[in-house]
Amino acid sequence: MLRYTHLEPPERRQPQVAEDYAKCFVSRLGKLAPLLEAQDFLCAGCFTAADISVGYALMLAQHIGLNERFAPSIGRYWERLQVREGFVRALCVQEEAAVK
């Protein structure tokens, strides 16, 4: 989706393709929504690499405005991930590296 909304030059962007990908992404997130209504994290009752992986996808989704389409349980999950100490530290390191 980033390709068709941000990375391609304006004349090569394909809004319909991006929207199709967005619908697919949000549909897949919908499969996680019931799980995250019942528990705080994806696996093993605690924060794992699965949460990092999904969290990265949610961060990208937020960057392109798809967070408005998150189910409530996905939105709450994303909020929990963003306040984790490790997430905050990683963002700081990323910002510092971008400035260099």
Assign 6 a pLDDT band (cuts: 50, 70, 90). Answer: confident
Number of H helices, E strands in the chain: 5, 0
For residue 24, what pLDDT is reported? 94
Per-residue pLDDT of 22-62, as tens digits, reads: 999 999 999 999 999 999 999 999 999 999 999 999 999 99
Q: How far is CA 71 from CA 29, 75, 77, 97, in A?
A: 8, 6, 10, 33
Per-residue pLDDT of 55-100, as tens digits, reads: 999 999 999 899 999 999 999 999 999 999 999 999 999 999 988 7
Q: Tokens representing 76?
A: 């709450």
Structural domain count of the chain: 1
Which domain range does residue 71 map to?
A: 2-99
For residue 100, what pLDDT is reported? 73
Closest CA to 77 of 25, 42, 28: 42
CATH number at residue 41: 1.20.1050.10
